[in-house]
Amino acid sequence: MYYKSYYTSPIGNMTLCSDGNSLCGLWLENQKYYGGTIKEDMVECNKLSVFDQTKSWLDRYFAGKKPEYSEISLTPQGSEFRQKVWKILCQIPYGEVRTYGDIAIEMSSCKTKMSAQAIGGAVGHNPILIIIPCHRVIGSDGSLCGYAGGLEIKKHLLEFEKEIL
């Protein structure tokens, strides 16, 4: 069973999803792939400690603090490949960006060439926005491309994070 709760943020209303112990999803209302990794109905429940922890994390983030992703137990649902990409995203510091190509290089071994497009698919399907910072990934030419929450929100988050350094 999955549970959901809601959070009102400066960038819009958000839905939090948990399996009862860990955070499985954090989506903006009406974003692309909203709830896409959760294959069961979510029941509203506002009394889970992981929801309290996540809301506290988001409060601090939007107040200009720099909470760590490791403060919350995260269990995003996805393939092994996507899980590896999401772990790399968590290593991108506040105020910094990486390109899809940078992540492809980090993911590839000596024998395997990884495409930036494959990385883009994994980044785009990140089910835990902001905490797993997919907004910190940009195109090789520095362009803001691809964000499930919309490019204006991506731009806002990147500018906001530069200010809090």
pLDDT at position 18 over 70: yes
Q: What confidence category does residue 1 fall into, taking pLDDT thresholds of 50, 70 and 90? A: very high
Q: What confidence category does residue 165 fall into, taking pLDDT thresholds of 50, 70 and 90? A: low
Q: Quick: pLDDT tens for 102-151.
A: 999 888 764 466 777 889 999 999 999 999 999 999 998 999 988 888 99
pLDDT of residue 146: 83
pLDDT of residue 107: 85
pLDDT of residue 49: 97
pLDDT of residue 131: 98
Is position 110 annotated as part of the catalytic site?
no
pLDDT of residue 118: 85
Please check whether residue 1 is in contact with residue 44, taking contact to mean a CB–CB distance below 8 angstroms. no
Considering the candidates 45, 90, 134, 145, report the single residue annotated as catalytic: 134
* Dist. CA 76–CA 82, nearest whole Å: 9
Average confidence (pLDDT) over 89-111: 87
pLDDT of residue 73: 97
* Dist. CA 112–CA 124, nearest whole Å: 22
56, 60, 62, 65: CA torsion to nearest 10:
-160
3-state secondary structure of 70: helix
Q: Quick: pLDDT tens for 22-74.
A: 999 999 998 988 888 898 999 999 999 999 999 999 999 999 999 999 999 99
Nearest to 81 by CA among 46, 106, 99: 106
pLDDT at position 81 over 90: yes
User: Three-state SS string across 109-152, please?
Assistant: CCCCCCCHHHHHHHHHCCCECCCCCHHHEECCCCCCCCCCCCHH
Mark out the alpha helices in 19-79 (DSSP H runs): 49-62
pTM assigned to the model:
0.93
* Dist. CA 15–CA 97, nearest whole Å: 25
pLDDT at position 85 over 80: yes
Nearest to 67 by CA among 116, 131, 9: 131
In the chain the domains, ranked by start, together with CATH numbers, are: 2-71 (3.30.160.70), 80-163 (1.10.10.10)
* Dist. CA 53–CA 77, nearest whole Å: 20
